[in-house]
Amino acid sequence: MRKVSIFGATGSIGQNTIDLIARDPTAYHVVAVTGGANIRQLAEDARRLRAQIAVTAYDDRLEDLRAALAGSGIEAAAGSTALVEAAARPADWVMSAIVGAAGLAPGLAALEQGATLALANKETLVCAGSLVLETARRHGARLLPVDSEHSAVFQALVGEDMAAVERIIITASGGAFRDWPVERLAQATVEQASSHPNWNMGQRITIDSASMFNKALEVIETREFFGIAPDRIEVVVHPESIVHALVGFRDGAVMAHLGAPDMRHAIGYALHWPERRELPVPRLDLARLGQLRFRDPDPERYPALRLAREVMARGGLSGAVFNAAKERALDHFIGQRIGFLDMSDAVAAVLDRFEDAGDLIDAPMTLDNVLKTDHLARQWVDDAVLRRAG
């Protein structure tokens, strides 16, 4: 039996992962499942999967979790230290599907115990790419992509030599506002930004798709995961979300990965890798689709893409700053304290402030420095938002 753990089990990726694992209960021994405030879901999944331990991110929910697990023999724990301890429990395969930088420390702990880390949490590579890759190498652990674009690239590269790769093209649906007039974006509401044309995902990544902060994170993730130069990474808007990514080779050939927009494909590929097993995803009917469209992203509509280029050029801890500022700006947008376009303005301002602050961004990439930088970037977004309000 393979030992598996699922971090962020109660979320969108987590639930899709459980859907696959629960289809084959004799194949897996579930070590840990984790979640946030949705204790009922977490306890139900822990019982169904017969997990060893269930962990909620929130200390004040421990008693509720204990009560929900009463009589099951499943351990209950709470808080960020408990998450890291659960990740350190031996497992062969660990799904990293917490949302945000909170996924970084558990992911590192899983790599340190040698697990294969299935990485949905793109923030891990954006915040601490070289640290994460170095940790994996040192412990003989493997990282597998779960983000659909990166899984697509990974699959297109099977049997290929990275030296023959000319460029990587990741597609973007364009999100909720792709057809809105740019002048209307400033007025976009949280509710409008929270509906995705093609994918059913958590609220935060859905809003990040509308602003293309999600694609901005993915460009940086591509750079880190595949070790490719930033100027060889392209983004193309593809409203149908059928082609997930393409790899261009030096002989002019381009390999594309196509599939229905269902995350169980990328999750299942990472779960069964290096095999390809049957997966319960819809099959494509290209004749019925009729056409696939592609266009360049409009830089005015999506300033996040330009910011990602600046971050890649800057290097160091600027990825951690970028992600943290984005997360905090998103909190303020969801809290209706700032508007949709204010998010990219806030992130740009915090990146500038770090540039002026001297060498903070050039500190060595340790977990401690990443977390300190993350904390400061969030504080500086708060300062800027408070100043505006005052």
Q: How far is CA 320 from CA 43, 126, 172, 314, 316, in A?
A: 32, 7, 23, 12, 9
Tell whether residue 123 is a contact of Mg ion (CB under 5 A). no
Element (H, E) at 271: helix 264-272
When binding is defined by CB under 6 A, the residue of 43, 99, 165, 220 that contacts ligand NAD is 99
Residues 106-145 that bind ligand NAD (CB under 6 A): 120-123
Binding-site residues for Mn(2+): 147, 149, 218
Closer of 102 and 271 to ligand NAD (Cβ): 102
CB of 54 to ligand NAD, least distance (A): 11
Closer of 214 and 360 to ligand NAD (Cβ): 214
Tell whether residue 202 is a contact of ligand NAD (CB under 6 A). yes
Q: Kindly indicate which of the ranges 19-27, 197-205, 220-228, 267-275 contains the residues binding ligand NAD, using the contact rule CB under 6 A.
A: 197-205
When binding is defined by CB under 6 A, the residue of 28, 35, 68, 212 that contacts ligand NAD is 35
Residues 221-260 that bind ligand NAD (CB under 6 A): none
Residues 6+ apart with CB under 8 A from 329: 338, 342, 343, 344, 346, 347, 381
| Contact letters for ligand NAD, residues 261-280 (x by CB under 6 A) | --x-----------------
Closer of 281 and 363 to ligand NAD (Cβ): 281
Q: Kindly indicate which of the ranges 66-74, 87-95, 196-204, 222-230 contains the residues binding ligand NAD, using the contact rule CB under 6 A.
A: 196-204
Tell whether residue 147 is a contact of Mg ion (CB under 5 A). yes
Q: How do strand 243-249 and strand 254-258 relate by DSSP bridges?
A: antiparallel
Distance, CA of 53 to CA of 266 (rounded, Å): 26
Cross-strand bridge partners of residue 53 = 32, 75
Binding-site residues for 1-deoxy-D-xylulose 5-phosphate: 122, 148-149, 173, 196, 209, 214-215, 218
Closer of 199 and 249 to Mg ion (Cβ): 199
When binding is defined by CB under 6 A, the residue of 4, 5, 8, 17 that contacts ligand NAD is 8
Residues making up the chain, counted from first to last: 390
* Residue in the shown chain whose Cβ atom is closest to ligand NAD: 11
173 phi-psi bin (left φ>0, alpha ψ -120 to 50, beta other): alpha
DSSP string, 102-124: GGHHHHHHHHHTT-EEEE--THH
Question: Which tokens hold the place of 89?
Answer: 């429990």
Q: Is 361 within 8 Å of 373 (Cβ atoms)?
A: yes
Token look-up 């017969």 returns 50
Distance, CA of 18 to CA of 27 (rounded, Å): 13
